[in-house]
Structure 1
Amino acid sequence: MHEKIIILDFGSQTTQLIGRRVRELNTYCEIVPFNKFPFGDRSVKGVILSGSPFSVNDDNAFKTDLHEIRRNYPVLGICYGAQWIAQSSGGTVDKSDSREYGRAHLSVKETGDLLLGNLPQQSQVWMSHGDTIVRIPDNFSVIASTEEVEIAAYKVKDEPTWGVQFHPEVFHTEQGNKILDNFLAICGCRKDWTPASFIEATVADLKETLGDDKVILALSGGVDSSVVAVLLNKAIGKNLTCIFVNHGLLRKNEFETVLENYEHLGLNVIGVDARERFYKELAGVTDPERKRKIIGKGFIDVFDEEAHKLTAIKWLAQGTIYPDIIESLSITGTVIKSHHNVGGLPEKMNLKLCEPLKLLFKDEVRKIGLELGMKPHLIYRHPFPGPGLGIR
């Protein structure tokens, strides 16, 4: 099991970006709703609190008790997260005279600090908040300031807890990656989250879970389903059958080109030319939304028909990725929508789901593909909608 950083999501639009930055530093992390901390998970090494569209002074603001978390783990609060740590400890957060948004120049005051001490004394950061911390408790110390924000960053004395009112995860914060890297060092992370380690662990898990079972996968020609196919092929070989449907609305020569690419990868692919069927269903239809639904249903029907020609299929593989999982939940932990890459297929076919990429961000999927030996032109293909040219 990989050690992990937990990111508590208070609703910020950059929460996923925090996760991507941590992963880029070869450390596994999980994003969970602010009130769903996984107490008892021994693989947790530290905690990051995200920003939020709310004010900590709002009646409906998202808040959670941090006592047990701070007692057991290093903590980094970002923007709202920093303000909540300060306020819940007895500090004061007030509305700013004017919203702080944009570039600011950070001055580091404590050169011996573990989080900021090895940064240049002056650097650019990115602010985005309407409130500001105006008073911190006596056991907090200011470690960095900007021209407009005195308490731009703080440290809790005798406790591995920090807060920053700027956003280290965004590109415009020049030393942002270094700050996050410093926090991972404080947490004692081994940095063992790599494409090679993911492939090794996932292939072993797939072999154990699937055994001799047969798996079917709908290929789209895109990066997610292609990487799933190669990963599964590495684990179970010919027990994987892939189906690639040509609905006649693909890019020029795409059907032939994609099949050729898959053949070179050693995949067992059934190419289905269903152009006439789709053209007949779409004849005279001009409304884009209606066309999208016709194409979606037609794809499911064709795929289901082809699958029934095969025997003993037990699993349906899909290219679900981590943002799909995150976006299917609200930050209160309730389900907004059930997600699956190929709408309707799991229910229609009564198969168990296999989603080997569901812990990965899109950029990580591409790295896995390259590590598996896939050609860059297949990994970096321009995205193309499922209904293809039918929704021009």
Structure 2
Amino acid sequence: MSAPSPAKRVRGEDGQSIFTRHAVCCVLDYGSQYTQLIARRIRDSGVLSVLMPGDVTMERIKGAQPKTIILSGGPNSVHVEGAPRVPDGFWEYCAENDIPVLGICYGMQLIVHQLGGEVKTADGGGEYGRMPMNVVRDSTLFSTEEQDSQLVWMSHGDEAVKLPDGFSVVARSEQGAIVAIEHPKRRIFGLQYHPEVVHSERGAETIRHFLFDIAKMTGDWRMEDVLEEEMEKIRLQVGPTDHVICALSGGVDSTVAATLVLGDRLHCVFVDNGLLRYKEAERVMDTFNQHLHLPVCKVDDADRMLGRLKGLSDPEAKRKAIGAEFIDGTLYPDVIESCPPPGKGQKHSHTIKSHHNVGGLPEDLQFELIEPLRELFKDEVRSLGRLLGVPEQFISRHPFPGPGLAVRIIGDVTEGDRLDVLREVDEVFINSIREWGLYDKIWQAFAVFLPVRSVGVQGDQRTHSHVVALRAVTSSDGMTADWYPFQPDFLRYVSTKICNTVRSVNRVVYDVTSKPPGTIEWE
């Protein structure tokens, strides 16, 4: 991904991380919303993954000295003019160095198309969602399988209809489409489905099989290595007399980042932007002072932030306004969903939504930007925090979006009493979850203010009051998520408590949408 501004980042001569002690699996990103999940599954296996844009140069690939390469999926068709390709000399380099290649979705179509096969638009419009596929168990890709069929996640409009010379079909969908291919001698493999998502029931096993049994990788990469790398980056970037400003949000990410730069040259700033949860500012400052002993300065920016948001109802407009107001750290799930449009860096991705901490940086930034956690997922940040001794009460906190309650109020944030109502509802919901012993079982839970009113009856009187939605999901990294299956007794309890406590609310609904097809936040 290209930087959102000219701010400097510490990288090695090849443009990648300076940490090079481990065997590398390169992931070429062709714009799939799941690309970071591929990198994540590789890391889960103890292998160092390095993400590169799909239009990377051959020199940069060689500089990383990869032991294996994975081609990601993407929204393009191989037939479209300007569709991404591997760089010239790629296949020759892989053959000369005996580097296994795995193509996923678009990556598989790219293999077929570039090596002499045929890809065409799928009959019936393609295959989408979770569906069965039938495998050849004595193949190289599926030699460890114990059954002929497994459920996998499909998301493709094109399909391979003729394979290049030497390739064989090793799995088909129930509709008969080619969904897995291999050329064991050339060590080139392809999967039309997405093994990286949890909806593919044996996907993680397939990735591990490719890494360890086929590519012969070693699983010796650990979070301790990440800690050493990030500390070295900071030492290189921050001079012996430089001072560091750390923007604290009260969440896991900024807190862990601050602990990486401890010392009398660290200056922490906590901004109350007016979009925080119920008594959030007071609680966060108390924790910083009592538990972390960080030198924190609190800044009240609520009036100015709400002024920027006044009259805005479009989600993108709200995010852009918030992004222009302050800077925060950036994590992988934020980066993939904020890919810049063509001509602005990574040109193969489609923007899903912009995160406040990716866009909005000024062009004339007058200081260097340190992003020690940019390439980590949420639970990896938690693991790093535990290594650094960050208190568990911080580590276990549910994620809170950078734009705060602005993305949990549908429509104009500043209209009427919306912020106050949402804060009270959210407080009741989270406290109820804690009362029932469910907080640590849920990855993220929150309330959403809906821009509608509902007819109700409260105290024998007709009401026309606010409607709120409750959302709770389970996830490991935020890239995919399932809605949490509360028991009916809990939903009855929390709904009643909200309507009795927050008198301006007379209807509560529960969101039962997973990610995909929805996102975790509503905006």
Please indicate the TM-score interval, normalised by the length of the shorter structure: 0.7 to 0.9
Partner of 2:257: 228
Determine the C-alpha separation between the residues in 2 that align with 1:10 and 1:295.
29
The code of the aligned residue for 2:83 comes to A
Aligned residue for 2:246? 217
1:321 aligned to which of 317, 331, 336: 331
Deviates more, 1:146-155 or 1:256-265: 146-155
Give 2:423's aligned residue. Answer: none
CA distance in 1: counterparts of 2:121 and 2:309, whole angstroms:
54
Instruction: Tell whether the 8 Å contact from 2:29 to 2:35 is kept in structure 1 after alignment.
Output: yes
Question: Does 1:90 pair with 2:119?
Answer: no
- CA deviations on 1:16-43 (whole Å, 9 max, x unpaired) are 2222222222222233222214232244
Residue 324 (structure 1) shift: 4.9
CA contact (8 A) 1:228 1:357 kept: yes
Is contact 2:308-2:321 (8 Å) kept?
A: no
Deviation, 1:283, is 8.0
Q: CA deviation at 1:254?
A: 1.9
> For 2:78, which of 56, 59, 65 is the aligned residue?
56
Quickly say closer, same or farther: Cα 1:210–1:119, change in 2 above 3 A.
same
Instruction: Identify which range, 171-180 or 26-35, moves more after superposition.
Output: 26-35
Report the counterpart of residue 303 of structure 1 in structure 2.
none
Q: Cα–Cα, structure 1 residues 49 and 258, in superposed 2: closer, same or farther, change >3 Å?
A: same
Could you list the per-position Cα deviations for residues 245-286 of structure 1 after superposition, in whole angstroms to 9, with x for gaps in the alignment? 3355533322222122222123222234x37xx548968994
Q: In 2, Cα distance between the equivalents of 1:340 and 1:159?
A: 44
In the alignment, which of 218, 242, 245 is matched to residue 271 of structure 2? 245
Tell me what 1:181 maps to. 208
1:127–1:166 CA contact under 8 A, matched in 2: yes
Please give the alpha-carbon distance, in whole angstroms, between the structure 2 residues aligned to 1:13 and 1:55: 15
Scaled by the length of structure 1, what TM-score is found? 0.80
CA contact (8 A) 1:216 1:242 kept: yes
Matched, 1:334 2:357: no
How far apart are the structure 2 equivalents of 1:61 and 1:343? 26
Alignment equivalent of 1:100, drawn from 114, 127, 151: 127
Amino acid at match of 1:218: A
Report the alpha carbon displacement of residue 318 of structure 1 after superposing the two structures with TM.
5.0
State how far apart, in whole Å, the 2-side matches of 1:205 and 1:296 are: 26
Q: Are 2:186 and 1:159 aligned?
A: yes
Q: Contact (CA 8 Å) 1:132, 1:149: kept in 2 or not?
A: no
Q: Distance in 2 between matches of 1:166 and 1:343?
A: 32
Q: What is the number of residues matched between the two proteins?
A: 368
* 8 Å Cα contact 1:3/1:28 also seen in 2: yes
**After superposition, where does 1:303-314 map in structure 2 within 5 Å?**
none
CA gap 1:118/1:348 in 2 versus in 1, 3 angstroms: same
Alpha-carbon distance between aligned partners in 1 of 2:40 and 2:319, rounded to the nearest angstrom: 32
Contact residue 12 and residue 52 of structure 1 kept, 8 A? yes
State the percentage of identical aligned residues: 40
**Matching residue's letter, 1:221:** G
SS at match of 1:373: coil
- Aligned to 2:160, what secondary structure does the other structure show? strand
Whether 1:41 aligns to 2:63 is yes
Counterpart of 1:360, as a letter, is: L
Instruction: State how 1:57-72 maps to structure 2 within 5 Å.
Output: 57-64=79-86, 65=88, 66-71=90-95, 72=97
Would you say the 8 A contact 1:7–1:48 is kept in 2? Answer: yes
Give the alignment's Cα RMSD to 1 decimal. 3.5
Distance change (3 Å), C-alpha of 1:246 and 1:93: closer
- Contact kept in structure 1, 2:128 and 2:154, CA below 8 Å: yes
Query: By how many angstroms is 1:214 displaced?
Result: 1.8
Q: Please give the secondary structure, in 1, of the residue aligned with 2:37.
A: helix
Using the TM superposition, give the Cα deviation of residue 5 of structure 1 relative to its aligned residue in structure 2, in angstroms.
Answer: 1.8
SS class of match (1:203): helix
Task: Compute the displacement of 1:350 (Å).
Answer: 1.9
Aligned CA distance change for structure 1 residues 93 and 376 (closer, same or farther; 3 Å): same
CA gap 1:103/1:386 in 2 versus in 1, 3 angstroms: closer
Q: How far does the alpha carbon of each residue in 1:215-236 deviate from its partner, in whole angstroms, 9 at most, with x for none?
A: 1112121222111111222xxx
Instruction: Call closer, same or farther: CA 1:333–1:154 in 2, change over 3 Å.
Output: farther
TM-score after normalising by structure 2: 0.62
Decide whether aligned partners of structure 1 residues 69 and 247 sit closer, same or farther in structure 2, where only a CA change above 3 A counts: same
Identify the residue that residue 48 of structure 2 maps to in structure 1.
28
Q: 8 Å contact 2:335–2:358 — kept in the other structure?
A: no
Amino acid at match of 2:121: K
Q: Say whether the 8 Å CA contact 1:202–1:356 is kept in structure 2.
A: yes
Unaligned runs of 5+ in 1: 301-316
Structure 1 distance, partners of 2:183, 2:307, is 67
Q: Which residue of 2 is the match for residue 306 of structure 1?
A: none
Q: Distance in 2 between matches of 1:292 and 1:340?
A: 5
**Could you tell me how far apart the structure 2 residues matched to 1:296 and 1:56 are?**
35
2-structure distance, mates of 1:369, 1:181: 27
The answer to whether the 8 A contact 1:33-1:332 is kept is no
Q: Is the 8 A contact 2:288 2:296 kept in 1?
A: yes
CA deviation vs aligned residue, 1:113-156 (integer Å, no higher than 9, x gap)? 1x321122332112222222222233112222332235321211
1:383: which partner in 2? 400
Which of 135, 138, 154 is residue 111 of structure 1 equivalent to? 138
Does residue 1:260 correspond to 2:286, yes or no? Answer: yes
Provide the secondary structure at the position in 2 that maps to 1:155: strand
Question: For structure 1, which segment, 137-146 or 78-87, has the greater mean C-alpha deviation from structure 2 after superposition?
Answer: 137-146
Q: Which residue of 2 aligns with 1:14?
A: 34
Per-residue Cα deviation, 1:69-125 (whole angstroms, up to 9, x for no partner): 532321001122112212222222233222222333233314251x32112233211
Q: 1:165 and 1:339, CA in 2 relative to 1: closer, same or farther beyond 3 A?
A: closer
For residues 196 and 244 of structure 1, the distance between their equivalents in structure 2, rounded to whole angstroms, comes to 28
2:43 is matched by which residue type in structure 1?
A: R
Consecutive unaligned residues of structure 2, counting only runs of 5 or more, are 1-19, 407-412, 420-523
**Partners of 2:373 and 2:129 in 1: how far apart?**
35
Greater helix proportion: 1
